[in-house]
């Protein structure tokens, strides 16, 4: 439950809640819901009343994956009920070991019946489930389409029929394609260069259509090269920071596709979690597509040198041919997120990079112990 004291005063009537706190229901039942006190501004004796709101029930699809597990962790920390639905094709059950409170359900969201069952009773749906890889979608567009479009449509129908308050979708900056304009803003036309990018654009359009046709509140959050702890470096489609970290810690030369001067708006996962959870309740966000990132850009060559400086050593990267479907430069305009969500990136790239490398160093030591 959440509650806060609001003043009822003859001179001022209702005032903004002065303090909010998260408590469990058992605690809320024992709380003193009415008390006398002095109003801080008027000095008048007032009655203070505790406003009580029940904790919400969240469904996190893909919640055993990288970003989904961080969302689940923060929701549990805030006292919410969390159900995770994941096929474990790319996710790992071990990513949730530290939060046993989570209800875990394994299955395929491209199965409409499974999607309906996991949406029941949930207030919010955070649809993170996907096969999030440009190269993988180029290699196998049919499987990618099933995971990224069929499953998204199923979740929209399931959320609508279950009476969910809002569905928040994991969009992608790949929707912008290779348009030269920087930074990328949400008013720009889409220009997908890969099946994955196209699938994310279609997902966003489905969300907006469901908002218009059925009144289901939806928000699409476009991610920009998210990084952090628990990002799996073992896949050939993994994020570049996880790949660089693992290679440098193993004293191996990592590959860079192309000349390394391509730039990305690398965003620490804590910032993304903040943006997504703000999108759940921001009144003006429904039906919108919103960038969540840092608003800067860093080349892969600069990234490599920064990581090498932190880890140590004298390795140089191995340059190989650029990959099909990769965009040259990416940088987010985050003014819309600031205006609609009150979002500001709370963790800098440098701080997030140090924390991420520390996590990989610890994980590597534990694995070899």
Catalytic residues: 196
Looking up tokens 């703000």, which residue turns up?
Answer: 278
Close Cβ partners of 311 (under 8 Å, ≥ 6 residues apart): 245, 248, 249, 357, 361
Q: Is 325 left (phi over 0), alpha (psi -120 to 50) or beta?
A: left
Distance of CA 293 to the CA centre of its chain: 10
Q: Residues, the chain, total? A: 369
Cα distance between the two ends of the chain:
42
Q: How do strand 34-38 and strand 45-53 relate by DSSP bridges? A: antiparallel
Which two tokens mark 320?
A: 């190989």
Integer Cα distance of 167 and 61 in angstroms: 11
Can you give the three-state secondary structure of 217-236, one letter per residue? EEEEEEECCEECCCCCCCCC
Integer Cα distance of 153 and 161 in angstroms: 12
Close Cβ partners of 342 (under 8 Å, ≥ 6 residues apart): 278, 282
SS3 190: coil
């Amino acid at each position: 439950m959440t509650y806060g004291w609001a003043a009822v005063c003859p001179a001022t009537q209702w005032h903004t809640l002065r303090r909010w706190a998260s408590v469990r229901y058992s605690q809320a039942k024992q709380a003193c819901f009415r008390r006398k006190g002095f109003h801080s501004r008027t000095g008048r004796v007032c009655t203070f009343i505790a406003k009580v709101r029940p904790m919400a029930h969240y469904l996190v699809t893909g919640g055993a994956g990288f970003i989904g597990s961080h969302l689940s962790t923060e929701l549990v920390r805030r006292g919410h009920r969390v159900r995770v639905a994941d096929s474990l094709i790319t996710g790992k059950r071990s990513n949730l070991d530290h939060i046993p409170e989570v209800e875990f359900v394994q299955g395929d969201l491209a199965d409409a019946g499974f999607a309906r069952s996991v949406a029941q009773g949930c207030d919010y749906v955070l649809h993170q489930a996907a096969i999030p890889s440009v190269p993988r979608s180029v290699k196998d567009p049919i499987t990618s389409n099933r995971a990224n479009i069929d499953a998204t449509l199923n979740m929209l129908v399931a959320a609508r029929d279950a009476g969910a308050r809002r569905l928040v979708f994991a969009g992608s900056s790949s929707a912008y394609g290779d348009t030269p304009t920087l930074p990328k803003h949400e008013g720009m036309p889409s220009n997908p260069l890969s099946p994955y990018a196209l699938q994310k654009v279609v997902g966003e359009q489905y969300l907006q259509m469901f908002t218009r046709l059925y009144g289901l509140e939806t928000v699409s959050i476009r991610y920009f090269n998210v990084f952090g702890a628990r990002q799996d470096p073992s896949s050939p489609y993994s994020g570049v920071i996880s790949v660089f970290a693992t290679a440098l810690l193993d004293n191996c030369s990592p590959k860079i596709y192309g000349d390394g001067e391509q730039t990305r708006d690398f965003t620490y996962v804590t910032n993304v979690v903040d943006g997504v959870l703000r999108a759940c309740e921001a009144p003006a966000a429904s039906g919108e597509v919103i960038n969540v990132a840092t608003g800067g850009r860093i080349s892969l060559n600069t990234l490599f040198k920064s990581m090498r400086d932190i880890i140590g050593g004298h390795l140089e990267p191995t340059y190989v041919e650029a990959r099909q479907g990769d965009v040259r430069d990416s940088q987010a305009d985050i003014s819309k997120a600031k205006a609609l969500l009150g979002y500001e990136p709370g963790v800098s790239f440098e701080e997030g990079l140090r924390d991420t490398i520390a996590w990989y160093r610890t994980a590597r030591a534990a694995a070899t112990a």
